[in-house]
Amino acid sequence: MDLTSRYFNPEMETLDRDGIRALQTERLHSTLRHCMNSGFYRKRFQESGISVEDIRTLDDLHKIPFTTKADLRDTYPFGTASVPVDKCVRLHSSSGTTGNPTVILHTQRDLDQWANAVARCLWMVGCRPSDVFQNSSGYGMFTGGLGFQYGAEKLGMLTVPAAAGNSLRQLKFIKDFGTTVLHAIPSYASRLFEVMVEQGIDPRRDTKLRTLVIGAEPHSEETRRRIEDMLGVKAYNSFGMSEMCGPGVAFECPEQNGLHIWEDYYIVEIVDPQTLEPVPDGQIGELVLTTINREAMPLLRYRTRDLTRILPGDCPCGRHHIRLDRMQGRSDDMIILKGVNIFPIQIEKILMQFPEVSSDYLITLETLADNDGMTVDVELKQMAIDDYGMLENLSKAIVRALRDEILVTPKLRLLPKGSLPQSEGKAVRVKDLRKKF
C-alpha cells in the first residue's frame, strides 16, 4: 500500500467520466442478469413487461420500476435476495417498528466490498494505518458500528469499538489509546466536548484527535465548523443508509465541498419526488440509487427518500465521482434525531395505547445546549383524573413507552384539550427548530 498516495483505490477513484460510464454500464448488465435470481425482481420485470435485454445503456435505466422500502417490507425477510440465503454471512435489519423490518443480506464478498468502500472514504480524508480509530456508533443492528469497524480495520488502523454512550469512558479511551480519528454523530461530538470541559480536558493539548467523521444526523455547515473549532479537528460528513450497506456510500473529500458518491458501487439518479422524473443537475430532488457492486441483495432504482442535489463541476481533489450536497431533508416524514430514524406514525401508535390522551400531537425538535432533543405535546382527552400523582404516572408511562419504541427519550408535555394548533387538512405534526442547514 502506497502511504503517500491520495487514493485507497487509485484505479477506481481516478476513473474519468467516460470510464465511470463504461464501468457502470458493464456492472449494470451483470447486476440485472444476477437480479433475475431474485423472485421479487423476476416477477417485477415480468409484470412491467420488460426484460434484461431492454436495458442496454444507462439511458435505459428509467424503464426499470423503482424499488421502495415498502417492497422490502412486503418481501420480508428474504424475498428480495438474489442468492440463496445459505450463501449469506450477515444480516442487518431495521427495527421494523413501522411494519415489517427491512432486512439486508450480505455475502462475504459484499462485506469485503463494503469494508473497501469505507476504507476508501477514510483514506480519502487522510486516515492511514498508523492512526487510531475510535467508533462511538452503536453496534449490533446499527450499520454504523460494524460498517466502520470493518472499514477501519481494512485500512489497517488500530480500531477501538467503543460503541455508543458513556462519555467518560470515551474520553479515557481517546486519551489513553491516543485516538486520532473519531466517528460520532454531530450532537454526540458536541456532548463529548462539554464533558471534556467539565473534566478540564483541552482537546488540543490533551488528546491526539485530528479527524472527526460525522454523519447519520442532519447538520449544517455551521455545526461542522463549530465542532472543528471546539475539538481542534477536521470534520468530514459521512453518508450512508442500511439499505445501501450502511456507511461508505458517499463521503466528503478534503475539499469539504460535497460528498463523493462511489459510482463504481452505485448509479445515481435525482428525481422529483412527486413526478418521479429526473431533475436537472444542481436541482434538489430525491436520491435514487441502483447498486452495481452487490451480490446478496442488489437493489434497482431504490428510492432513498433523502433529498439532495448533484453539485455541478469538477472537484479539485482529482476524483470524478459525482458530489452530492449535504442531505436537505426527506421526501417522507421520517425524522432523524441523534442518528436514530423515527417516523411520526410510531409516536402516534404509542399515544393511541393511552386512552387518557387524544391522538393529536405535536413533535418539536430543538437544539438545547448543542444537544438535539424531542418534545412531544399531547392533549389530555376528556379529563377523568383529579390527582397530580396519576398525571405524573401517566406522563412517565407514556415517556417510557415512547422511549422503548423510538429509542430516544422525549420530553412529554400534557396539555388541556384544544391547546394544539388546529390546522386545516394535513395536521402539522412535526416542528423542527434544530440548528441546521
Partner 1 sequence: MTIHQLSIFVENRQGTLIKVLQLLKEAGVQLIASTIADTVEYGIYRIICSEPDRAYSILRDKGISVALSDVFAIELDDQVGRAADTLTLFSEAGISIAYMYSFLLKGKGILVFRTDDNEKTCQVIREQGLKYIPESDLSKY
Binding site for partner 1 (CB under 8 A): 379-388, 391, 413-419
Q: Which is nearer to partner 1, 146 or 378 (CB)?
A: 378
Pairing, β 234-239 against β 211-215? parallel
| Least Cβ distance, residue 258 to partner 1 (angstroms) | 44
Instruction: Tell me the residue type at 3.
Output: L
| Least Cβ distance, residue 430 to partner 1 (angstroms) | 21
Q: Which is nearer to partner 1, 263 or 379 (CB)?
A: 379
| Least Cβ distance, residue 418 to partner 1 (angstroms) | 5
Cα–Cα distance measured from residue 154 to residue 94, given in angstroms and rounded to the nearest whole number = 25
Q: Which is nearer to partner 1, 345 or 399 (CB)?
A: 399
Q: Which is nearer to partner 1, 355 or 416 (CB)?
A: 416
Q: Which is nearer to partner 1, 2 or 387 (CB)?
A: 387
- Least Cα distance to 320 among 373, 268, 386, 244 occurs for 268
| Least Cβ distance, residue 383 to partner 1 (angstroms) | 4
Q: Which is nearer to partner 1, 256 or 375 (CB)?
A: 375
| Least Cβ distance, residue 415 to partner 1 (angstroms) | 6
> Contact at 8 Å (CB) between 79 and 40?
yes
CA dihedral for 268, 320, 125, 281, sign (positive or negative)? negative
| Least Cβ distance, residue 385 to partner 1 (angstroms) | 7
Q: Which is nearer to partner 1, 362 or 414 (CB)?
A: 414
Q: Which is nearer to partner 1, 18 or 386 (CB)?
A: 386
| Least Cβ distance, residue 423 to partner 1 (angstroms) | 17
| Least Cβ distance, residue 361 to partner 1 (angstroms) | 15
How far is Cα of residue 218 from the mean position of the Cα atoms in its chain?
9
| Least Cβ distance, residue 374 to partner 1 (angstroms) | 16
∠ Cα 400 190 196 (to 5°) = 105
Q: Which is nearer to partner 1, 53 or 386 (CB)?
A: 386
